């Protein structure tokens, strides 16, 4: 849906730019004029889509209606103004005249709001909604209901629950009957999907197979919950799932592509950010006494330790300290707070990529001092070291820093999701989200409901 919106709105802007240029300047007279106009319209369209993406205009979860969308369009327009102005200053041939750009964007804004209003109204219609029937009650059913309710952008509706056990957290009208009546319930509700929240031994297999044969999609609740939340409920999956369902071996071609991309970004990154690195080093040195770089022993692929490079963001400790960030807040320097906010303290890790210790994207490497604590306290933790750690990762863009074992467990859910679904395109998405954090300095996202899932005690690392 997001890709379709971007495609339609990008096409409208491209057409508007073309038409406005012809109307306000002149029609193309030869092939060179056509090529120039194509380049200019394509460049401004690409910059517009980039500005919209980084200001969440295409995130339906944060802009589900025109009122919320308007708030996102204001910073998006400011971002686009800066991007187009910079492009016009550096390469004037890439963009049309400012008068053409301004007129085209005003026309786009006038068309965009009514178009989005029609799309949102269409999304809310019953015909467009997908009907879900949940089979089975219990904690997994509760989590599925919560996750679906938290994602109105998914355009799906739970028609009810078929279960043999009481479901105290659900209104009575949502419980449609016992499993022995499943065939009749399916006939009455006509669901598009059936989500199973039961163990294999309790499944009404014959009825579910008949549903599959009739074209109704049948999915396991854990798989659906994984897609809804972008993480894996590691405390609920059976132990054998880790052996069979969580594939951590990528093909040699995929590994080579990820490694080549990481090396290319590291080389280009070090080259382009060399002046920034020098300025940060000077700022760190004069802000507080101590070394510029912070060297820390971390756990790498297959559990091998390596030395991580970061800009120092804390004053040196006088004795033994905790590894948790929350316990060291009083040691964070003024420069360090800004470096952490924009993730600039991680830039020296491009050197770790060149050394082969890390990739650009992967689970963040944990301190060696915490390895035994995490291995014993976090389910499926051994799988985390199956891939090379990264400068950024899915857990970093979705959760941020962790301050105790419970929050590390929450991050492990995102890390395992990445390990299971890793791909080149997923890595590209994570990099784009990381750039968004670096550019806008967005604070770390706190866990919304980690307490409901975590049963591990909160501990401190020595």
Q: Supply the CATH number for residue 225's domain.
A: 3.40.50.20
Identify whether residues 263 and 384 lie together within a single domain.
Answer: yes
Task: Determine the Cα–Cα distance for residues 179 and 135; give it in Å rounded to an integer.
Answer: 8
pLDDT at 80: 86
Shared domain for 299 and 339, answered yes or no, is: yes
User: Helix 252-272 to helix 274-287 angle, to the nearest 10 degrees?
Assistant: 70
How much is the pLDDT for 247? Answer: 61
Give me the domain span that covers residue 98.
2-123
Q: Are residues 115 and 186 in the same domain?
A: no
117 lies in the same domain as 150: no
**Structural domain ending residue among the three candidates 56, 88, 123:** 123
Domain count, the chain: 3
- Kindly state the tokens that stand for 152: 């109105």
Q: Please check whether residues 37 and 136 belong to one and the same domain.
A: no
Q: What is the pTM of this model?
A: 0.75
Same domain? For 262 and 181 the reply is no
195 assigned to some structural domain: yes
93 plus 153 within the same structural domain: no
Domain assignment present for 309: yes
List, in order, residues 6 or more apart from 328 with CB less than 8 Å away.
314, 317, 321, 322
- Whether 247 maps to a domain, the answer reads no
Cβ atoms 44, 13 nearer than 8 A: yes
Per residue of the chain (462 residues), what is the pLDDT tens digit?
Answer: 677 778 888 888 888 888 888 888 777 788 888 888 898 889 989 998 888 888 878 776 655 566 677 777 788 888 888 888 888 888 888 888 888 888 888 888 788 878 877 877 777 676 677 889 999 877 888 888 888 888 776 778 888 899 887 766 666 558 888 888 999 999 999 999 999 988 666 788 889 999 999 999 999 888 899 888 888 888 777 666 666 666 655 667 778 888 999 999 999 999 999 999 999 999 999 988 889 998 989 999 989 999 999 999 988 766 666 666 665 677 888 998 888 888 889 999 999 999 999 999 999 999 998 888 898 888 888 888 888 999 999 998 888 777 788 888 899 999 999 988 888 889 998 998 888 877 765 544 433 333 222 222 233 332
> Is 237 domain-assigned?
no
97 occurs within a structural domain: yes
Q: How far apart are CA 429 and CA 394, in angstroms?
A: 9
Cα 20 to Cα 14: distance, rounded to the nearest angstrom: 10
Sign of CA dihedral 154, 159, 160, 161: negative
Q: Among residues 81, 106, 123, which one ends one of the domains?
A: 123
N- to C-terminal Cα separation, the chain: 48
244 inside domain: no
Q: Return d(Cα 160, Cα 172) in angstroms, integer.
A: 10
Last residue of a domain, one of 107, 123, 139: 123
Q: Please indicate, yes or no, if residue 407 is contained in any of the structural domains.
A: yes
Q: What is the pLDDT of residue 146?
A: 86
Do residues 119 and 134 share a domain?
no
Alpha helices in 273-333 (DSSP H): 274-287
The reply to whether 7 and 63 lie within a common domain is: yes
In a domain, 461, yes or no: no
Quick one: 276 and 418 in the same domain? yes
- Answer left, alpha or beta for residue 62, where phi above 0 means left and psi between -120 and 50 means alpha: alpha
112 shares its domain with 138: no
Indicate whether 269 and 409 sit together in one domain. yes
CA 183/CA 193 separation, integer angstroms: 14
């Amino acid at each position: 849906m997001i890709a379709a919106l971007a495609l339609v709105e990008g096409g409208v802007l491209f057409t508007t730019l073309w038409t406005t240029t012809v109307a306000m300047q002149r029609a193309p007279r030869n092939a060179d004029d056509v090529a120039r106009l194509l380049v200019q319209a394509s460049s401004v369209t690409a910059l517009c889509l980039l500005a919209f993406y980084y200001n969440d205009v295409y995130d339906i979860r944060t802009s589900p209606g025109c009122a919320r969308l308007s708030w996102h369009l204001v910073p998006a327009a400011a971002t686009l103004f800066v991007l187009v102005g910079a492009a016009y200053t550096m390469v004037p041939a890439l963009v049309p005249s400012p008068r053409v750009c301004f007129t085209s964007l005003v026309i786009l804004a006038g068309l965009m709001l009514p178009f989005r209003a029609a799309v949102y109204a269409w999304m809310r219609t019953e015909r467009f909604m997908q009907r879900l029937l949940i089979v089975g009650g219990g904690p997994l059913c509760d989590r599925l209901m919560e996750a679906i309710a938290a994602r109105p952008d998914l355009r799906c509706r739970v028609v009810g629950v078929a279960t043999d056990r009481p479901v105290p957290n659900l209104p009575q009208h949502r419980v449609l009957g016992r499993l022995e009546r499943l065939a009749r319930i399916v006939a009455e509700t006509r669901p598009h999907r059936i989500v199973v929240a039961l163990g294999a031994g309790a499944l009404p297999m014959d009825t579910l197979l008949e549903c599959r044969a009739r074209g109704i999609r049948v999915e396991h609740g854990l798989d659906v919950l994984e897609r809804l939340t972008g993480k894996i409920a590691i405390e609920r999956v059976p132990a054998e799932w880790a052996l069979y369902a969580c594939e951590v071996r990528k093909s040699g071609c995929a590994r080579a592509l990820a490694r080549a991309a990481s090396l290319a970004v590291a080389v280009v990154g070090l080259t382009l950010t060399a002046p920034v690195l020098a300025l940060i080093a000077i700022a760190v040195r004069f802000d507080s006494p101590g070394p510029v770089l912070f060297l820390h022993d971390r756990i790498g692929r297959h559990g091998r330790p390596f030395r991580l490079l970061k800009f120092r963001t804390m004053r040196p400790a006088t004795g033994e300290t905790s590894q948790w960030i929350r316990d060291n807040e009083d040691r964070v320097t003024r420069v360090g707070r800004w470096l952490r906010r924009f993730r600039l303290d991680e830039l020296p890790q491009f050197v770790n990529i060149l050394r082969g210790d890390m990739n650009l994207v992967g689970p963040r490497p944990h301190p060696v001092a915490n390895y035994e604590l995490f291995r014993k306290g976090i389910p499926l933790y051994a799988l985390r070291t199956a891939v090379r750690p990264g400068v950024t990762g899915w857990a970093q863009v979705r959760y941020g820093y962790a301050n105790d074992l419970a929050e590390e467990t929450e991050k492990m859910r995102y890390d395992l999701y990445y390990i299971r679904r890793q791909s080149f395109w997923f890595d590209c998405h994570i990099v784009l989200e990381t750039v968004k954090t670096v550019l806008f300095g967005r604070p770390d996202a706190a866990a919304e409901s980690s307490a409901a899932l975590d049963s591990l005690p909160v501990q401190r690392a020595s």
